[in-house]
Structure 1
Amino acid sequence: MTGPDPGFAEFIETCLREASKVAVGMRGTGETTVKPSDVNQLVTDTDLAVGALLTGRIRERYPRHAILEEESGATPGDDEVTWIVDPLDGTSNYAAGSPLYGVMMAAVGAGGVLAGGLALPSFDTVYVAEAGKGATRNGQPLGPLPATGPEKSLVAFGMDKGPPGLMAAEGRLAAALGTACLGVRMSNSVFDICMVADGAYGAFVHRSCRIWDVAAALCVLGECGGVCTDLDGRPLDLTDPLTKADRVFEVCLASAGVHPAVMTALKAAAPA
């Protein structure tokens, strides 16, 4: 199994800091379009600029590595490592003027995620982790996630716009989570994942993620003792990532103390 490159963490932090400056600097400028394939997906000039920046930096530093970037797609490599890049997570928030958006990147090897990072540009905050080496927030070590139970924990639930039947089903799940925990919060972005890493939230649940939405989060939260599964409680499989660009992941990223209650609530609310 390929292990983390000794320079992965420093490289990721440097890239995310640079990307954050671009995202902040381009706020309120450029064009925004809707992807023809999905009305929930916006693309801004910032998405394209940050994507080009990060893929360029990866090619410069690791020319043999493959890259899967949300907007430009897949670039094969001749090494075991694939970089997964989400240039702007929460694009709708960003385009609307909300600060609740971010940038994510991760390196995935044959055995899973090797390293990853999450950036919240509006808050000048970067989270970085390497498998087996812990996680940091702005260079300071992140401790284990709190052991707080669900009754004292906020849970984030992400949902996208859809037909009435889907919206009703999502509403039932949100209501079930709200009954099982302290309350439900929604930014539908990486901000919620970062709140789990900080211990402010006990879990993040979403039924429509792509691989670039979760790869970096798995590493950061995993290094904090988090439990990262699908909604049936199975570990998330991100191996061979170039084949998973179109796969939809249903995820629960949670502390060990909250994960079982979230699973129970979701199963109880699911249609028979």
Structure 2
Amino acid sequence: MASTQDVLELIQQVAAEVITPRFRALADDQVHQKHPGDYVTIADREAEVVLTRELGRMFPGARVVGEEACFTNPELEFTLGGAEHAFTVDPVDGTRNFVKGSPDHAVMVSEVVAGQTCRAWIWQPEHGVSWVAERGAGVQRNGESLTRIGQDRLALGATSKASRHGFDGGGELAATVETAWCCGIDYPNLLMGELDYLVYKNVHPWDHLPGALMVTELGGDVRNFAGEPYAPGWTGPGLVAAASTEMAEQVQRLWIEP
């Protein structure tokens, strides 16, 4: 059975060979939109093919649920919760940033066993930073154990929902800022204490399972808008990730419209 380090090295190799050579070097015919504003590139597609193939080789019998495969076959996403062993793959998280030449993109993978996320990987190739979590064993940043350091301030959050940018909960929160449009950047910002909570409307497992495990491993809370713990197989709408249960409850109370 392949180790956690083996999977990280696979992700890094695929990024180096398939993704990074296309960064700021994409031809027009290598960029498409699945929906208006929802980009996919040759790097996304080729990286997912390689990651899917190699994870299947490393873990025979495991189901691989990739973002691009789910665009072709949407039903695949809904098989995750019932899978005995599965992986999610986001080959280029933050594709819009990647297309625009921003270094704020990542490769993300999570492992799900019997409906529970047990390992997670985020690799930020242009920043050269890896984030790895194993259930019950905490989070490592570039191989070193991570401890979240909170900030002495009103809770600062980020959301992709434009109508809530600047929302401060009547003064109980700092003015909410825009996300990085990349969960592989947003969740690490929460882990590092640069943000205190995140609020998302759209919830896909390849976007959120890796970061959710990391947040909970550091004592945080990830839940849906009904207050239920976020888990594989749950599809939304809405998600709150926060540095603590108390903060998640506060954000949920202030954000969720009656």
- Asked whether 1:260 is paired with 2:253, we answer no
User: Number of aligned pairs?
Assistant: 244
The Cα of 1:150 is off from its aligned counterpart by: 6.0
Residue from 209, 212, 216 that aligns with 1:215: 209
Structure 2: any 5+ residue segments left out of the alignment? 71-75
Task: Tell me which of the two structures has the higher relative contact order, counting C-alpha pairs closer than 8 angstroms and 6 or more residues apart.
Answer: 1
The Cα of 1:92 is off from its aligned counterpart by: 0.8
Indicate the residue corresponding to 2:239 in structure 1: 251
Residue from 21, 24, 38 that aligns with 2:20: 24
The Cα of 1:230 is off from its aligned counterpart by: 0.9
The Cα of 1:177 is off from its aligned counterpart by: 5.4
Question: Does the CA contact (< 8 Å) of 1:106 and 1:116 recur in 2?
Answer: yes
In 1, the alpha carbon distance for the partners of 2:170 and 2:11 equals 33
- Matched position secondary structure for 2:136: coil
* Stretch deviating more after TM superposition (176-185 or 7-16): 176-185
Indicate the residue corresponding to 2:195 in structure 1: 201
- Asked whether 1:91 is paired with 2:95, we answer yes
In 2, the alpha carbon distance for the partners of 1:224 and 1:66 equals 28
Which amino acid letter does the alignment assign opposite residue 124 of structure 1?
G
Question: Does the CA contact (< 8 Å) of 2:84 and 2:115 recur in 1?
Answer: no
1:133-190 alpha-carbon deviations (Å, 9 max, x no partner): 11101101011x3454661x4212123xxxxxxxxxx514752459433343321212
- Asked whether 1:171 is paired with 2:166, we answer no
Residue from 40, 47, 50 that aligns with 2:47: 50
Q: 1:49 and 1:180, CA in 2 relative to 1: closer, same or farther beyond 3 A?
A: farther
Which amino acid letter does the alignment assign opposite residue 71 of structure 1?
E
Residue from 36, 57, 61 that aligns with 1:60: 57
The Cα of 1:80 is off from its aligned counterpart by: 1.6
In 2, the alpha carbon distance for the partners of 1:230 and 1:173 equals 20
User: Structure 1-normalised TM-score?
Assistant: 0.81
Question: Does the CA contact (< 8 Å) of 1:12 and 1:128 recur in 2?
Answer: no
Residue from 10, 33, 37 that aligns with 1:15: 10
Indicate the residue corresponding to 1:157 in structure 2: 159
Indicate the residue corresponding to 2:176 in structure 1: 184
Question: Does the CA contact (< 8 Å) of 2:164 and 2:176 recur in 1?
Answer: no
Which amino acid letter does the alignment assign opposite residue 37 of structure 2?
N
* Stretch deviating more after TM superposition (79-88 or 252-261): 252-261
1:10-47 alpha-carbon deviations (Å, 9 max, x no partner): 13311221233232221122411111xx3232110110
User: Structure 2-normalised TM-score?
Assistant: 0.85
Which amino acid letter does the alignment assign opposite residue 10 of structure 1?
Q
The Cα of 1:96 is off from its aligned counterpart by: 0.9
Which amino acid letter does the alignment assign opposite residue 209 of structure 2?
A
Q: 1:157 and 1:8, CA in 2 relative to 1: closer, same or farther beyond 3 A?
A: farther
Identity percentage of aligned residues: 21
Indicate the residue corresponding to 1:166 in structure 2: none
Question: Does the CA contact (< 8 Å) of 1:16 and 1:126 recur in 2?
Answer: no
Indicate the residue corresponding to 2:33 in structure 1: 34
